[in-house]
Amino acid sequence: MSRNFLVVDPEEGLEVLKGLASAIRIKILKLLHVEGPLNGNDIAERLSLPQSTVSTNLQILETAGLIRTETQKARKGNQKICHSTFDEVLVMFKEDITPLRSNTIEVAMPLGLYTSCEVSAPCGLCSSDGIIGLLDVPDTFLDPDRMKAGLIWFTRGFLEYQFPNNAKLAQNTITTMEFVMELSSEVPGTSADWPSDITLSVNGTEIGTWMSTGDYGDKRGVYTPDWWKLKGSQYGKLKNWRVTNDGTYVDGMKISPVSLTDLDLANHHSIRLRIAVKPDAKHPGGINIFGRGFGNYDQDIILRLHTAP
């Protein structure tokens, strides 16, 4: 089942913080999360609250984007059904964006800071200190300790990350967009001959698929901790995905015609990156994503935006 997360910067998400700043609204959110969609009368009854109090607080939650509503026919007229929007809300200050050049913006995204996920076993997460949660249990991907992850693996499914579109905020035109990350296939143990099709999407548009050739364990990764077993995945290949005005490239080789024009980034406040092994992949060989403390490069997932001078 797909899980949705919201990452809130307190400097930008005041409406969300206002929505959370009430014991009654927290109870409503918890009720909807546990029991699923309910109408206002059901919420008032379960929480033993006046209908007017519930209606006021539902309006605040909807304004904050923490719930969504839909109108359905009832025995007498219509009723408004309330749905919880997110499974988890994380409040986090964003780091200042470091300019590499006057026309380059770079953002480093920690592996565990995904905003949505849907994965199948075998799967798991590790920090540099040890295993996070339970191995081969997809619900472990909801563990708050995932924020410490330096290695993530799964067989099929996806992780989605939400980057700020700082070029739009600065009213600059993007000329090239890059994603840089260390990747490999995933097989029980390791195998240098284990192909896997890894697909990236941006804001719901597939930009292309790269085939990883193996899951590498012939030697310990440069940054992989000593406690991690040698029979486990040790390192990956550092891949550079580059989207330009004439297509998408991986390490300089064109893999698809999807261009910046197709992505229309100027009309998006965020850049949602989905990393997936699709159910219908020709080579469904799983994925390892290496971050800080693992692999050969000790880096997060990097988004780099090049803008017009």
For residue range 112-131, what is the model confidence (pLDDT) as tens digits?
999 999 999 999 999 999 99
Q: What is the mean pLDDT of residues 285-304?
A: 96
- Asked if 213 and 141 sit in the same domain, the reply is yes
Both tokens assigned to 4: 């949705």
Higher pLDDT, residue 271 or 13: 271
DSSP state letters, 123-161:
-EEEETTEEES-TT-GGGGG-GGGGG-SEEEESSEEEEE
pLDDT score recorded for residue 161: 97
Nearest to 162 by CA among 92, 73, 225, 64: 92
Q: How many domains does the chain fold into? A: 2
- Asked if 178 and 129 sit in the same domain, the reply is yes
What DSSP state is assigned to residue 251?
Answer: T
- Asked if 36 and 138 sit in the same domain, the reply is no
The domain that holds 218 is classified in CATH as 2.60.120.260
For residue range 41-75, what is the model confidence (pLDDT) as tens digits?
999 999 999 999 999 999 999 988 899 999 888 77
Higher pLDDT, residue 2 or 6: 6
How many percent of the chain have pLDDT more than 90? 76
Q: Is the residue at 98 inside a domain?
A: no
Structural domain range at position 272:
104-307
pLDDT value at 4 more than 80: no
Q: What is the mean pLDDT of residues 96-106?
A: 67
Q: What angle do CA 124, 126, 131 make, to 5 degrees?
A: 85
What DSSP state is assigned to residue 19?
Answer: H
- Asked if 87 and 108 sit in the same domain, the reply is no
The domain that holds 20 is classified in CATH as 1.10.10.10
For residue range 133-164, what is the model confidence (pLDDT) as tens digits?
999 999 999 999 999 999 999 999 999 999 99
- Asked if 200 and 124 sit in the same domain, the reply is yes
Give the pLDDT band of residue 90 (cuts 50, 70, 90): confident
Q: Is the residue at 130 inside a domain?
A: yes
